[in-house]
Chains A and B, each alone.
Chain A
Amino acid sequence: MTATENAVREGRRAGKGSAKTPRRRRVAQNRWLPYLLLAPAIIFELLVHVIPMLTGIGISFLKLNQFFLRNWLEAPFAGLSNYHYAVDVNGSIGKALLWSFVVTIGFTILVVGLSWVLGMFAAVMLQRSFRGRALLRTIFLIPYALPVYAGVIVWKFMLSRDNGMVNHLLAQLHITDGHTFWLIGNNAFASIVVVAVWRLWPFALLTLMAGMQSLPTDVYEAAAVDGAGMWQQFRKLTMPMLRGINQVLILVLFLWTFNDFNVPYTLFSASIPKSADLISIHVYQSSFQNFNFGLGSAMSVLLLLFLLVVTGLYLLFTSRRSRRA
């Protein structure tokens, strides 16, 4: 791991260097320091995110299948035909994509909503000290500490019809006859929502908990003296002060959930039930299983456009509201 050590050393040197210069050249520092500070982030973003994405957009205009994989620059230009297949809702590909899109939207709204509510609830409950608080805080973070595969495969095991814990429990409680399918049919949708929430809500908790730690306690004390109840304090103090963090948190939860590949792929392998046909798996099948990288990229670009629009509207809406408040 010598390269890493070098990088660390270099990172340190860079830090020290820039710490000394400003005293001498204050004017120049003010102009260039922010760029210097941003430089590492920009380099990595370009390398890993931006350039590959631009390439991906380029691929969406090619007829890139197994015949051209090896020399993909020579793949024939396909114009907008990949996009045409993807948006033609009368064709079977477009129809399936639209369905998958609708499923994914429903999935995302439910998962983000539930994760945020659970995370916020627990964060508020854990805000004040009581016996066992530290223990609970750790327990709640465990789902997040498991590798995704481990956390999801155990659910697959629990949800199986014959030998699963869920059916066993439901039968013991006399709620069902214990023969419900959870991994196929319409129930599969409910299953994947529960599993995704189980994985994601600790992250909401973690972020909100950290956010609440920086809220000044004296304000709460003053409010309590004024006779504000718990609910009042939450609405009038906690929520407004967490607005910035909430804005970011909800958006990020939305984007991750929408694009999540790990959870559905682990839970259903490549055989995803129709009711839970999430878009990431859908695109994966088009590209990697069917060797149609042009079509897969076109689908991805359409999703990207959709997410850009939604995010733009979201930011516009939330920033305006916060300005008004």
Chain B
Amino acid sequence: MRKRILGVVALSAALVAGAGGLTACGSSDSGSDSKTITYWASNQGSSLQNDKDVLGPELKKFTKQTGIKVKLQVIGWNDLLNKITTATTSGQGPDVVNIGNTWSASLAATGAFVDFDKSHMDKIGGQDKFLATSMSSTGAAGKTTASVPLYGLSYGLFYNKKMFADAGIKNPPASWQELVTDAKKLTKPGGKQYGITLAGASYTENAHFAFIFGQQQGGNFFDKSGKPTFDTPANVKAVQQYTDLISKDKVATPASAEHTTTNDAVEDFTSGKAAMLLGQNNTNTGIEANGMKKSDYAVAPIPILTPLPAGGKKINSHVAGINIAAFKGGNETGAMKFIKFMTSAKEQVILDKAFNALPVTTEAAKDPAFQTPENKMFVDVLANTSAPMPMITDESQFETTVGNAMKDLIAQAATGKTVSAADVKKSLDDAQQKMQSGG
């Protein structure tokens, strides 16, 4: 019996270790074929099919220009990170892949992606063609990055014009305090209408706002050495700035607490339950897909605390967006040509228009398509009042620990318990402990 067990262990070691050994040399789905590349695109359009429809003609153009065929797969956000992780482990990945830009530092740490050093940057047209803020979301400052920006996104305040008019509010709020006052005016007794709606059960959304408001409050979730400092008074205030909307001020739809995606919040907005919504610029697509007319709503920058507390920064968005990266060991030459193509001014204009995204290069940003007041505003936020999420390898832990802690606080508030500063501090403290011991 013992012999048999030993045999099993030996066999398993051989099978799995073999995989490890082989992957060390790295290879890719497409093999060494220099005439094809595989591309995993993220879901940007109204459906995966819509993504394919938009990308299809552009990929054909690329093939025409370079003779390189592109095998496209559009992967939903549910699966994208898991698929990249398994591809990284096995070394069997696509040549080019889209990633959420907040994953940049984590994924760069795997060493599975081509580093954009000077020579690689030159192959795709040089670093200078990108907007500086967009570049800031590709990795820690001063380090070589493993991805470059592809689609830009930033936050704005969407508001229902009619509801504003009915409540006698002429202009969108100019300060955060004004937003809260307006939201109170817009909240009607009886639970039919609220000032604002949030995606309170989405840990990513929560973490974004903790970060953004943290910047305004003069807080930092990590110190210079990268150690978590979640429970500072400024960060507690930042979290409260968000949770108070549902807890103290009670101006957010109670259902906000169970919204796991922005889509759910958009439904509150388009069905007239809430007058305001904090969303990224591509939220347009969703709002209109739900049947709300363009003329019925407008967008303004998310107002900032006025006056800013000591050390506070004028930040009302994180540098949101999608980056593009190349796996090592595949058709790297083809991959660089493709990334150059996708980030060229011409393609940027076409793709950003189709996906309601913002250009990530200075040249594309000048295109008339992005000079409408609304687009200009989003571009302005992205270029001037946004900051990148912490570019640390454990960024995802930051999002899961802080975001989930906030989700629990919001749920607590919605189910009738008050959320005090002490509660916030305690849960941030807890999140920090998890963050520290998890690494």
| Chain A residues engaging chain B, CB cutoff 8 angstroms | 46, 50-52, 54-55, 65-67, 69-73, 85, 91-93, 96, 160-162, 179, 181, 183-186, 268-271, 273-274, 285-286, 288-292, 295
Contact = CB atoms under 8 A, between A and B. Distances in A.
A161 B255 contact: yes
B438 interface: yes
Interface in B405-439: 407-408, 411-412, 414-415, 430, 433-434, 437-439
A179 B111 CA distance: 50
A73 B110 contact: no
B110 A70 contact: yes
B260 interface: yes
Given A54-B12, A162-B255, A67 B110 contact: yes
Contacts of A54: 8-9, 12
Interface string B385-417: 000000001101100100010011001101100
Interface stretch (B84-92, B275-283, B362-370): B84-92
Interface residues of B, number: 54
Contacts of B437: 85, 91-93
B434 A66 contact: no
Contacts of B1: none
Contact of A51 (B16, B201, B203): B16
Given A92-B430, A92-B437, A271-B202, A179 B400 contact: no
Given A274-B408, A288-B85, A184 B414 contact: yes
Contacts of A270: 203, 400
21 contacts: A54-B12, A55-B16, A70-B111, A71-B20, A73-B21, A91-B437, A160-B255, A179-B191, A181-B257, A181-B411, A183-B201, A185-B411, A186-B415, A269-B260, A269-B261, A270-B400, A288-B85, A289-B81, A289-B396, A290-B400, A292-B439
A24 to B, nearest CB: 29
A258 B404 CA distance: 23
A93 B110 contact: no
A70 B415 contact: no
A183 B112 CA distance: 39
Given A96-B434, A184-B257, A271 B20 contact: no
B8 A51 contact: yes
B258 A161 contact: yes
Interface in B195-228: 201-203
A162 B414 contact: no
Given A181-B254, A273-B411, 7 more contacts: A55-B16, A92-B430, A92-B433, A160-B258, A270-B400, A286-B438, A292-B439
Interface in B255-300: 255, 257-258, 260-261, 268, 273
A67 B108 CA distance: 9
Of A67, A92, A186, chain B has the most CB atoms within 10 Å of the CB of: A92
B310 interface: no
B167 interface: no
The 4 closest A-B pairs by CB, nearest first: A92-B433, A51-B12, A73-B20, A184-B411
A184 B89 contact: no
A288 B82 contact: yes
B112 A67 contact: no
B36 interface: no
Contacts of B273: 162
A82 to B, nearest CB: 11
A184 B415 contact: yes
A308 B85 CA distance: 30
A51 B8 CA distance: 8
A225 to B, nearest CB: 52
Contacts of B261: 269
Contacts of B24: 71
Of A71, A270, A271, A291, chain B has the most CB atoms within 10 Å of the CB of: A271
Contact of A70 (B9, B88, B257): B88
B141 interface: no
A269 B85 CA distance: 19
A298 to B, nearest CB: 12
A285 B284 CA distance: 31
Nearest to A51: B12
Contacts of B254: 161, 179, 181
B308 interface: no
Contacts of B169: none
B17 interface: yes
Contacts of A290: 394, 396-397, 400, 438
Of A69, A186, A289, chain B has the most CB atoms within 10 Å of the CB of: A69
Contacts of B412: 185
Contacts of A96: 434
B357 to A, nearest CB: 24
Contact of B415 (A46, A93, A181): A181
A188 to B, nearest CB: 9
Given A73-B20, A288-B82, A66 B109 contact: yes
A273 to B, nearest CB: 6
Contacts of A52: 16
Contacts of B73: none
Contacts of A286: 438
A72 B89 contact: yes
B196 to A, nearest CB: 15
Of A70, A183, A270, chain B has the most CB atoms within 10 Å of the CB of: A70
Contact of A91 (B255, B408, B433): B433
A291 B396 contact: yes
Nearest to B434: A92
